[in-house]
Amino acid sequence: MDIDVDEASRPKEGKPILVILVGAPGSGKSTFCEQVMRSSTRPWVRVCQDTIGNGKAGSKAQCLSSAANALKDDKSVFIDRCNLDRDQRSEFVKLGGVHKVDVHAVVLDLPAKLCISRSVKRTGHEGNLQGGKAAAVVNRMLQKKELPKLSEGYNRITFCQNESDVKDAVNTYSSLGPLDNLPHGCFGQKNPDSKVQVGIMKFLKKVAAPDAAARPDGTGNTTSQTPGKIDSSDKDVEMASPTLDSPNLESKEGESQGVALNGSHASRVSLDDAPTLAFPSISTSDFQFNYEKAADIIVEKVAEFTAKLGNARLVLVDLTHKSKILSLVKAKASEKHIDTQKFLTHVGDITKLHSSGGLNCNVIANAANWRLKPGGGGVNAAIFNAAGPELESATKERAKSLSPGNAVVVPLPASSPLFVTEGVTHVIHVLGPNMNPQRPNCLNNDYEKGCKILQDAYASLFEGFASIVRTQLGQSREENENIVEKALKLQDKSECCSRNNLTNIDQKNKRDADHGSEKSKKCKGILDSFRVSSDSRDERVDSEHRRNDGSMNKAWGSWAQALHQMAMHPEKHKDDLLEISEDVVVLNDLYPKSQKHVLIVSRTRGVDSLADVQKEHFQLLKNMHDVGLKWARKFLDENASLVFRLGYHSAPSMRQLHLHVISQDFDSKHLKNKKHWNSFNTAFFRDSVDVMDEVSSHGKATLKDDDKLLSMELRCDRCRSAHPNIPRLKSHIASCKAPFPAYLLENGRLVHATAEP
């Protein structure tokens, strides 16, 4: 809609990935591979140990060799083995580092009864694991099950705990095109494995009955005693969940505690299955900020953000159980009745939370210095030392410095020791106010200003974490279906609907599919003319977002990332940009819909479209509008006959909030169809002045995202006469002398030579 380009010069292949399937016999690993490979546009190779030896069972070494050869040929690989423990997986994970590709795990953690039932009933299995003998084998293998963790070296782990989850995962990988990436992190782990299925042997007897000949005694009795076999009692025994007493200041190092509510016991929370941010108290150590005031601000911001973070958790960390700030925060949080499942305190080293404290935190905060450099003491030095040079290098790519009250999210490279040993995927640098006269930028005890900066610092920190959470949780079932639907619909609409059984398609996805060919064109021109290269770290953090109202924003494909890449890395595109500032970049729309058509692109992370705009973004909107006015007036100095309109599309096709500055002549060979016209001449196009008014008054803009708007009949933007096609409309508007509609002449919606500056 914003930029048309040709598909022909789009790169043909992207980076391959290595997907290690994890699951017992009968969990559906081979079926998973077949379903993905049947519909995927990405080249895949399935490596199966049951068939690796010329159609017969082979060795692990053969699988490793076959996988390595496929990766060298730029093909993505499925490792179709059980891979139920870490040792079985480790050598395959190492292949990712050798070949510099992402390593994924897809865990088919389905109920044991289902796996056993499938194994017993199947016939013609490649590895001949079927019939009655399969039951004992599956039971024995499940006793060794060790679920994978990011710390093993994975970039992404998808847990499937039922057949619906498996279908979603199939859809996700089927829709992964040659250029596409998936966000990193853990997805789908709903319930930690906390129950022992003591009644499983009773079930084994039932399912094994049809194949008596396979039993050692040839009877209907189960006689084998397999290692680790569970007692055949009919009672289900649930493992006791460890509990925590109410918080006290004498807790041991490495102990996590929920904030006490009325002195009751609180269950220890397993953080393996939820995004978790561990953060130190900002500014209270070396910067000497008042503890009472800091504790009030921490609790205030925690209370505000826990309501927005879903099942994600925040953990306040300090080194000593005698910590005054931990004591104050726990007391104040208890008074506020903050959910103990979403906010914990922890005594321990923030760089060793997993290895020493048993606490799994995928994101940690660093109390940074303004230079974003290693050195000094305390948390900053400890985190940079623990993360290795990878963190310093990754930080430099994100930001050169940091001002008080701000934070910057840095995806941690998989080679970093913190990633490998602790499972930390992101570090968020945050800078608070300084009250220490021995340090730079001391506020001289100005706590009115200091409190405001500290509030901003925690808000920036938690917003950064929220952006990571949105990324890692963005692959909901509905979204996966939509991604698959759109990808396949471009090839064959009817085949897509029948193959994926996607019968309930919302209007927005229909419109996106209709735009498919146009979007494919855009990808080529942007990648070619603007030389946009994919930034893996940007993709890891920002590729998908959840709308602020809780609804799902659409998944931005690789073709839609170009404006985002230019805004985040303008230094790489200086020749293609008209202007670069701290807030925005300005560029010509590559395929303008009028004589003059430029885009004012925001450089603010996490604001992909109007759907993400909130009240705090008002100044950003104002700055974008002012820059747009400046360029409109520059064009008017060159041609006073032009008239300009400034506005946003309700549902843009390109990621990163951008303002259109477009002359109202619509004299362009690139204006080709009804959707082009209606996207600028219906309520789908939101005037900048109206958006600013709504955000200022109500905290958000009204979105006119209705498919009917783009499919409306063609009408002149002045006299409103109807026309059958674009050529007839263009012929009419070239000579139409009618004035603009009255509403456009109000509130500065139109910019022209006679308008007041």
Active site amino acids: 658
DSSP, residue by residue, 129-176? --SHHHHHHHHHHHTT-----GGGT-SEEEEE-SHHHHHHHHHHHHT-
Distance separating alpha carbons of residues 693 and 701, to the nearest angstrom: 8
67's tokens: 């996988």
88's tokens: 């079985």
627, 581 contact by CB (below 8 A): yes
Distance separating alpha carbons of residues 475 and 709, to the nearest angstrom: 28
Alpha helix ranges (H) inside 388-476: 389-398, 417-422, 447-472
DSSP, residue by residue, 564-581? HHHHH-GGGGGGG-SEE-
CA nearest 156: which of 481, 536, 417, 547? 536
Distance separating alpha carbons of residues 443 and 421, to the nearest angstrom: 39
CA nearest 336: which of 312, 308, 304, 314? 304
Distance separating alpha carbons of residues 332 and 5, to the nearest angstrom: 56
140's tokens: 């024995």
Residue type, 22: V
Residue type, 324: K
DSSP, residue by residue, 577-588? -SEE-SSEEEEE
**SS3 letters across 65-112:** HHHHHHHHCCCEEEEECCCCCHHHHHHHHHHHHHHCCEEEEEEECCCH
Distance separating alpha carbons of residues 147 and 708, to the nearest angstrom: 48
